[in-house]
Amino acid sequence: MDISGKTKLYALIGDPVSHSISPKMHNTAFEENEIDGRYLAFQADQENLKETVDALKRLGVRGWNVTMPCKSLMAEYCDVLSKEAQISGAVNTVVNDNGVLTGYSTDGIGFFRNLKEQGLDITGKKIILAGAGGAARAIAAQAALEDIGELVIFNRTVEKAEKVIDDISEEAEKRNIKISAKDLYDREALKKDLEDAYLFINATSVGMNPELGEERLLEPEWLPSQLNVADIVYNPIETELLKAAKERGCNTINGLGMVLWQGAYAFNYWTGTEFPVEIVKEQVFDVS
């Protein structure tokens, strides 16, 4: 589609952004849905975030995604926050309604939507989440809004896991979800929790750099074959964890789905139209 005087701009802000797949995803979706919009990536950091947001508002940019290191600060500049953005304290998607900014966190909802698409039913189930960084927070915040049975967060720095648990406790209590924080280095506890879990999620950065000979989060023999194993790392698509889980007979879910679905929700909030998931999968991720 041609760029016109009415073309709406959408953006990604953060640092780094040059490697991001989001421009390709959203521009493909605009074209497919015949929406007169374009999505560009702009570098921004915490020092100039306020200025950047003011500029986006001034230019009437309809919506934007926010990535590292700006997700938490962006929450402070929004006029309205969705429930999961309030709980996680982070915003990855902003809708600009004539200067009124609504902030969402679509990573968690995207993650759980992908599980559903993959045929998983998490109702009443026990979930183990490894990690307590930004991505893990988003997943934990959404987990507290789903009807799961139990969430156990394991992290190397256990205090960070405890903080996440504390932040989600009010919502989890409302739904009778059992929650706890544990030390990732407590191997016996992890091994035991894996025995009766439905799903294990790696939301740490372990797996991104296999060439560095990273240490393992867990031993493959701790993975029972009925366990579902998900990784948020999508480069490489098949991490060492997923490879090991497959060999153990586990069902595995790679990190592409979360990237795809977080974008799908953002796109829908901005445009009110359905994100063409299959087309994007095919044209952007080269999978269908």
Residue 211, φ and ψ in degrees, nearest 5: -65, -15
Alpha carbons 89 and 104: distance in angstroms, whole number: 10
Which lies closer to ligand ATR via its Cβ, residue 160 or residue 243?
A: 160
> Interface with ligand ATR by CB under 6 A: which range of 56-64, 76-84, 125-133, 234-242?
125-133
Alpha carbon separation from 118 to 74, 99, 169, 275 (Å, rounded): 31, 38, 28, 18
> Interface with ligand ATR by CB under 6 A: which range of 25-33, 57-65, 200-208, 265-273?
200-208
Task: Report the residue closest to ligand ATR, judged by CB.
Answer: 133
> Interface with ligand ATR by CB under 6 A: which range of 108-116, 117-125, 202-210, 236-244?
202-210
Smallest distance, ligand ATR to C-beta of residue 80, A:
24
CB crowding 55-85: b at 16 or more within 10 Å, else e: ebbeeebbbbbbbeebbbbbbebbeebbebb
- Closest by CA position to 156, among listed 181, 174, 191: 181
Does 255 engage in binding with ligand ATR (CB under 6 A)?
A: no
**Residue 238 three-state SS:** coil
| Backbone region of residue 207 per phi and psi (left: phi > 0; alpha: psi in -120 to 50; beta: other values) | left
Please list every residue from 203 through 222 that binds ligand ATR, using CB under 6 A. 204-206, 215
Interstrand relation of 251-253 and 228-231 (parallel, antiparallel or unpaired): parallel
Smallest distance, ligand ATR to C-beta of residue 118, A:
21
Smallest distance, ligand ATR to C-beta of residue 176, A:
26
Which lies closer to ligand ATR via its Cβ, residue 63 or residue 255?
A: 255
Which lies closer to ligand ATR via its Cβ, residue 183 or residue 238?
A: 183
Smallest distance, ligand ATR to C-beta of residue 92, A:
10
Show the tokens assigned to 287: 């999978």
Which lies closer to ligand ATR via its Cβ, residue 257 or residue 276?
A: 257
Please list every residue from 34 through 93 that binds ligand ATR, using CB under 6 A. none
Marked catalytic residue, from 6, 57, 71, 178: 71
Show the tokens assigned to 26: 């959203």
Smallest distance, ligand ATR to C-beta of residue 30, A:
27
Which lies closer to ligand ATR via its Cβ, residue 241 or residue 284?
A: 241
Alpha carbons 271 and 285: distance in angstroms, whole number: 22
Please list every residue from 131 through 170 that binds ligand ATR, using CB under 6 A. 131-136, 155-157, 160
Alpha carbons 264 and 275: distance in angstroms, whole number: 5
Smallest distance, ligand ATR to C-beta of residue 184, A:
6
Q: Is there a contact between 61 and 37 (Cβ–Cβ < 8 Å)? A: no
Alpha carbon separation from 96 to 31, 60, 201, 270 (Å, rounded): 21, 8, 33, 8
Indicate if 160 belongs to the active site: no
Which lies closer to ligand ATR via its Cβ, residue 12 or residue 136?
A: 136
Residues with a known catalytic role? 71
Where along the sequence are the contacts to ligand ATR (CB under 6 A)? 131-136, 155-157, 160, 184, 204-206, 215
